[in-house]
């Protein structure tokens, strides 16, 4: 049988673990957002500079697949 003292220790440990998991998820989310923002910025720069090239073959295949 678990005493009240042990129960409170377990509850505290669980709460700390849940908080830690939440913080980890927030950090991963922030990093993913930064990476997406970076990718978008890179695409904007390449489009503005005229360096972005569209793969017409891949685009036409994708459009054909979507129509079928």
Domain count, the chain: 1
More confident residue, 2 or 35: 35
pLDDT tens profile 6-62:
566 556 655 665 656 666 666 666 666 667 778 999 999 999 999 999 999 999 999
**Which residue range forms the structural domain that includes residue 22?**
4-67
The pLDDT, as a whole number, for residue 37 is 79
Across the chain, where does the E strand assignment appear? none
1 burial (CB, 10 Å; 0-12 / 13-18 / 19+) is exposed
Question: What residues contact 52, with CB distance under 8 A and at least 6 apart?
Answer: 43, 46
- pTM for this structure? 0.36
């Amino acid at each position: 049988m678990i005493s009240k003292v042990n129960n409170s220790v377990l509850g505290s440990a669980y709460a700390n673990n849940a908080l830690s998991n939440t913080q980890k998820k927030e950090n991963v989310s922030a990093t993913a957002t930064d990476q997406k923002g970076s990718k978008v910025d890179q695409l904007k720069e390449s489009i503005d500079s005229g360096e972005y090239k569209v793969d017409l073959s891949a685009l036409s295949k994708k459009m054909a697949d979507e129509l079928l």
